[in-house]
Amino acid sequence: MKIALAKGRLGEDALLKFQEIGLLKSVDLNSRKLIFTTKDYELLLLKPSDVIVYVRNGKADLGVVGSDVVMEGNYGVYELLDLKFGICRFSIAAPKDTDVMGKSCLRVATKYPNVTRQYLNEQNIEIIPLQGSVELAPKAGLSDCIVDLVETGKTLQANDLEIIKDLCDVSARLICNPSSYRFLQSELSDLVEALSHD
């Protein structure tokens, strides 16, 4: 079975979860290797945005991604389990002491246009897609507010923004390729059962 994990904290937390149930013990994330092979598993270490691409295309059976990634794209993968780490939330944030929600047309900067449309579908909004630091957009006059992932809120505070509304919670999810789900159902069921117990 091939498992795709993201480099970085989410991947480190995911590997720890797998190791707690006795899997992937020989994997050393401090090495420069990108593929680790054990008796029953092959682990692929990828950029976070690539994990779901490998799973969707059947080059990995399983992957661990944030639910934000699954929500933003229509990838056609199955979510098997909420792993209950990597917890944060989608929030609307705006410059302090401003009333942006009353505007007739709201300009929203975000890396997540689909999630933004889904949660603000009753508003008249103009979505400004960005790839980088969305916190700069209101200060530069590009947008009225932002929709972004928030964990501690420190980045927002440092940029004079405050949360107006939390939209939904986000956490790490175990995802699966649909074909793998069909052909590896017994193994996947055992794995999900093991991962479900802390």
What pLDDT sits at residue 198? 61
Rounded to whole angstroms, the Cα distance separating 115 from 189 reads: 30
Rounded to whole angstroms, the Cα distance separating 22 from 27 reads: 12
158 phi-psi bin (left φ>0, alpha ψ -120 to 50, beta other): alpha
Would you say the C-alpha torsion 73, 197, 9, 24 has a positive or negative sign?
negative
Structural contact between residues 16 and 85, judged by C-beta atoms closer than 8 angstroms: no
Tell me the fold of 2-86+171-196.
Answer: D-Maltodextrin-Binding Protein; domain 2 (3.40.190)
- What tens digit of pLDDT does each residue of 42-66 get? 999 999 889 999 999 999 999 999 9
The H-or-E segment that residue 8 falls in is none
Buried b (16+ CB within 10 A) or exposed e, 9-32: ebbebbbebbeeeebbeebeeeee
Strand partners, 102: none
Task: Give the E-state strand segments of the chain in sequence order.
Answer: 2-6, 35-37, 42-46, 62-66, 78-82, 88-95, 106-110, 125-129, 145-150, 161-170, 172-176
Q: Is the pLDDT at 173 greater than 90, yes or no?
A: yes
Task: Determine the Cα angle at 82 with ends 45 and 152, to 5°.
Answer: 80
The pTM for the full model equals 0.89
- Our measurement of the distance from residue 175's CA atom to the centroid of its chain's CA atoms, rounded to an integer in Å, reads 11
pLDDT band at 28, cuts 50/70/90?
confident
Rounded to whole angstroms, the Cα distance separating 127 from 146 reads: 9
Residue 93, token pair as written in the block: 């944030």
Q: Which class in CATH covers the domain with range 88-168?
A: alpha beta
Rounded to whole angstroms, the Cα distance separating 68 from 191 reads: 23
Question: Range(s) for CATH 3.40.190.10 in the chain?
Answer: 2-86+171-196, 88-168
- What tens digit of pLDDT does each residue of 81-115 get? 999 999 999 999 999 988 887 788 899 999 999 99
Amino acid symbol at 81: L
